Copies of this chain bind each other. A is one copy, B any other.
Amino acid sequence: MALSFSAKLMRGVSRCAALVTPKTAPTSCRYFSSAENSRVLVNLNDKTGVATMQLNRPPVNSLNLEVLTDMTIALDKLQTEKDCRGMILTSSSPGIFCAGLDIMEMYNPQEDRLREFWRTLQELWKMMYGSRLATIAAINGHSPAGGCLLSLTCDYRIMAQGKFTIGLNETLLGIVAPFWFQDTMVNTVGHRETERALQLGLLYSGENALKVGLIDELVSPEKVMETAEGQMQMWLKIPDFARQLTKEQLRGPTVQKLAQHQEADIDHFVNFITKKAIQKSLEMYLNMLKQKKK
A residues apposed to B, CB below 8 Å? 134, 155-156, 170-177, 179, 182, 186-192, 194-196, 198-201, 213, 216, 234-235, 238-239, 241-243, 245-247, 249-251, 277, 281
- A239 touching B198 by the CB < 8 A rule? no
Contacting A171 at CB < 8 Å: which of B177, B179, B195, B243?
B243
CB <8 Å contact, B187 and A250: no
Residues in B neighbouring A176, C-beta threshold 8 A:
242, 245-246, 249
Residues of B within 8 A of A175 (CB): 242
A185 to chain B: closest residue by CB? B250
Q: Is the CB of B179 within 8 A of A238?
A: no
Q: How many angstroms from the CA of A50 to the CA of B201 in the assembled complex? A: 20
Top 7 nearest A-B pairs (CB, nearest first) are A171-B242, A174-B239, A187-B191, A176-B245, A171-B238, A198-B246, A174-B242
> B239 touching A281 by the CB < 8 A rule?
yes
A153 to B243, CA, bound (A): 24
Question: 8 interchain pairs (CB within 8 A)?
Answer: A155-B199, A170-B242, A171-B239, A172-B238, A177-B246, A187-B191, A189-B192, A198-B246
Q: Which residue of the partner chain, among B170, B172, B192, B216, contacts A188 with CB atoms under 8 Å?
A: B192
**CB-nearest residue of chain B relative to A178?**
B249
Q: How far is the CA of A249 from the CA of B155 in the complex (A)?
A: 25
Q: Name A249's contact: one of B182, B190, B201, B235 (CB within 8 Å).
A: B182
Contact B170 A192 (CB under 8 A): no
With a cutoff of 8 Å between Cβ atoms, the chain B residues found around residue A246 in the complex are: 170-171, 176-177, 182, 198-199
Q: How long is the Cα–Cα vector from A262 to B260 in the complex, in angstroms? A: 25
Chain B nearest Cβ from A197, distance in angstroms: 10
A194 to chain B: which residues have CB within 8 Å? Answer: 250
Q: Are A250 and B155 in contact (CB under 8 A)?
A: no
Interface centre among A199, A249, A281 (most CB of B within 10 A): A199
Contact (Cβ within 8 A) A174 B277? no
